[in-house]
Amino acid sequence: MELGLRAAGRTPFRPDPSMIVRVDPGPLIEPHPLLGYRNAPGRHHVTYRCGYSYTTTVTAKGTRATRPREREADYAGRPRIVVLGCSFTYGWSLADQDTYPWLLQQALPEFDVVNEGVAGYGTIHQLLRAKELLAARERPALIVATYGTLHDERNVVSRRFRKAVVPFDNQIRTLDSVRAFVSESGSVRIERIPLRYRPPPLIRRSALVEAMDECWNSLELAWLAPHRTTLRLLECLANACREAHVPLLLAGVWDDEATRRTLAVLAKLGVTTVDASVDLNDPRMNLLPVDWHPSAAANRVYAHRVLQAIRGLRGLAHAR
């Protein structure tokens, strides 16, 4: 069987070497009691194995900067627009000023735009963070949540997802995440789980062990029902915002029909949605050969589409 799999082109598990080789000063992310982990505050210079580097600025609250540090005090007391999401919102591998929340802040100076994006986050993280924000004395004027089908596996922290982030193991090996389980009645149970992937023995030497591991991962994923879980989490997010009388805008950031169908489901529940996605196969829209994340050009598209949706919302008269 091993020889047959090799002849068919199958190989042992051969993850890319760690993409990030240096964070100065480190760490780039840190533990968090509710969400498992978050962005570590500070100004970090990140260097990749290929030689590419960028600088990211994170506030004391763990949010990524959306304006120059010296202008931070100018936005105190302004109504807040909070943007929740994953590495697409954070702006992975991009300078601060190239991220779409930064561009939104430029276009909406009358608001305090907050970038709550964190790499690896899913809908479960956005729901938990939104509930924190909605319970605070000063609630946001608007919550912008993001969704793509890549969030489904993160919401259940599948073995396949943990295997996919092995190239970042030198950043996450000691960290936990959170995952959700949805019962038949629709109730949501949340638990913490380590992010580190623990592969079976010999997986880096045997194509057969790697194939068996992939089979097991697929079976586990089917059992976890990640998309059903995501839909329930999005419904909970919509209900929480509705009960707090805070508008919710859901932006699609992944270019596939499944994401668009999910946006349509939420639109039927009364949520304002916008398809902000781009074709990441377009070389202009990704950062290859550094990595596959959205480029600065893609973030300009995100900013334009989300901005148009914000300006169309009732009750945000200042967003003009």
Domain CATH number, residue 171: 3.40.50.1110
Query: Which tens digit of pLDDT belongs to each residue from 166-199?
Result: 988 888 878 999 999 999 888 999 999 999 999 9
**Both structure tokens of 154:** 């993160």
CB atoms within 10 A of CB 85: 29
CB atoms within 10 A of CB 33: 7
Domain span at residue 14 reads 2-311
Mean pLDDT within 96-103: 98
Q: How confident is the model at residue 319 (pLDDT cuts 50, 70, 90)?
A: low
Q: Enumerate residues 6+ apart whose C-beta is below 8 A from 170.
A: 18, 20
What is the count of structural domains for the chain?
1
Q: How far apart are CA 118 and CA 104, in angstroms?
A: 17
Percent of the chain surpassing pLDDT 90: 88
Residue 316 phi, psi dihedral angles, 5° rounding: -115, 65
318 lies in some domain: no
Q: How far apart are CA 94 and CA 91, in angstroms?
A: 5
In three-state secondary structure terms, 108 is coil
317 lies in some domain: no
Q: How confident is the model at residue 17 (pLDDT cuts 50, 70, 90)?
A: confident
DSSP state of 273: E
**Both structure tokens of 253:** 């950031």
User: Which residues are 64's β-sheet partners?
Assistant: 58, 115
Query: Which tens digit of pLDDT belongs to each residue from 289-311?
Result: 998 999 999 999 999 999 999 99
Query: Which tens digit of pLDDT belongs to each residue from 115-143?
Result: 999 999 999 999 999 999 999 989 999 99
259 lies in some domain: yes
Is residue 146 within a helix (H) or strand (E), and if so which, with residue range? strand 142-147
Beta strands at 272-275 and 248-252: parallel, antiparallel or unpaired? parallel
DSSP state of 66: S
180 lies in some domain: yes
**Which pLDDT score, from 0 to 100, does residue 216 have?**
96
**Which pLDDT score, from 0 to 100, does residue 137 have?**
87
CA 179 to chain centre: 14
**Which pLDDT score, from 0 to 100, does residue 142 have?**
98
CA 129 to chain centre: 13
Q: How confident is the model at residue 15 (pLDDT cuts 50, 70, 90)?
A: confident
**Both structure tokens of 135:** 């319970």
320 lies in some domain: no
Q: How confident is the model at residue 146 (pLDDT cuts 50, 70, 90)?
A: very high
**Which pLDDT score, from 0 to 100, does residue 315 have?**
66
319 lies in some domain: no
**Which pLDDT score, from 0 to 100, does residue 318 have?**
56
The torsion defined by the Cα of 99, 278, 108 and 54, in degrees rounded to 10, comes to: 10
* Mean pLDDT taken over the chain: 95
Radius of gyration of the chain (CA): 20
Look up the pTM and report it. Answer: 0.94
Closest to 298 measured CA to CA, from 313, 283, 314: 283
Predicted confidence (pLDDT) at residue 12 exceeds the cutoff of 90: yes
267 lies in some domain: yes
Q: How confident is the model at residue 21 (pLDDT cuts 50, 70, 90)?
A: confident
Q: How far apart are CA 250 and CA 266, in angstroms?
A: 8
Specify the residue for token string 């919550």. 143
Predicted confidence (pLDDT) at residue 272 exceeds the cutoff of 60: yes
